[in-house]
Amino acid sequence: MKLILLGPPGAGKGTQAEVLTKQFGIETISTGVMLRAAMREGTELGKLAKQYIDEGKLVPDDVVVGIVKDRLSQDDCKNGFILDGFPRTIAQAEALTASGVEIDKVLSLEVDDEVIVERLTGRRECKACGTPYHIKNKPVPANGKCVCGGEIIQRADDNEETIRNRIKVYHEQTEPIKEYYESQGKVVSVDSSGSVDQTNAAVSKALGLVK
């Protein structure tokens, strides 16, 4: 299964990816997680990415396409993968097609802009493994640490001003990708405005995992 998760920031891509990764036994490749890891490590890539991410802008296409291609060429992606946060522009989608990757399905998680702001301001994340949490919808474990033992933090780009910018960028640059894949008959849409469990049930049904 080669699956793309599409949807605005806060749609629940990372949360659903976590479940799907276990159900399918395949890796999730999240460009957001990879870029933030590079930022933490202070690599050249990380320093470059930080300038864009902190303002809610997209990291340049050639940079992101490069790291995704590298990652997809590794052995653990041979039997399939879930892409979370990539492609995010038409140019990225075209680069993926041009590199010979055949996507099976694009799962579009649909949620209104008003819901997004509330979700992202309450979002928390494991600093070590990237697992998402939410103060109301998916509380952190009682000991205050991630299931992996990592520290739980609020992302710097989850402040209201940056969030509004990311939503704008999503509508302008990422949403057109849906049509790109719709013309190939690959898009399945799911309402993602309910709870994590409700969305997961809808996702499983849409992907034919349950009847």
Binding residues for ligand ADP (CB under 6 A): 9-10, 31-32, 35, 52-53, 56-59, 64, 85-86, 88, 92, 166
Active site residue 166: yes
Residues paired with residue 125 on neighbouring β-strands, in sequence order: 132, 153
166 binds, among ligand ADP, Zn ion, none (CB under 5 to 8 A by kind): ligand ADP
Least distance in angstroms from the C-beta of 81 to Zn ion = 20
The nearer residue to ligand ADP, 9 or 190, going by C-beta atoms, is: 9
Find the residue with minimal CB distance to ligand ADP.
32
Least distance in angstroms from the C-beta of 32 to Zn ion = 15
Which structure tokens are listed for 47? 């320093």
Name the residues that contact Zn ion, by CB under 5 A.
126, 128-129, 131, 146, 148, 150
Which structure tokens are listed for 58? 């997209």
Sheet order of strands, 152-153 included: 132-134, 123-126, 152-153
Residue 82 burial (10 A CB sphere; 0-12, 13-18, 19+): buried
Q: Is the dihedral angle over the CA atoms 7, 178, 194, 201 positive or is it negative?
A: negative
User: Which residue is catalytic, options 155, 164, 178, 186?
Assistant: 155
The nearer residue to ligand ADP, 59 or 126, going by C-beta atoms, is: 59
**CB atoms < 10 A from the CB of 1, how many?**
15
User: Which residue is catalytic, options 50, 119, 123, 124?
Assistant: 123
User: Which residue is catalytic, options 36, 71, 88, 105?
Assistant: 88
Q: Are 18 and 198 in contact (CB under 8 A)?
A: no
The nearer residue to ligand ADP, 16 or 92, going by C-beta atoms, is: 92
Least distance in angstroms from the C-beta of 7 to ligand ADP = 8
Least distance in angstroms from the C-beta of 158 to Zn ion = 17
d(CA 47, CA 65): 17
User: Max alpha carbon distance in the chain (Å)?
Assistant: 48
What residues act catalytically?
Answer: 13, 88, 123, 155, 166
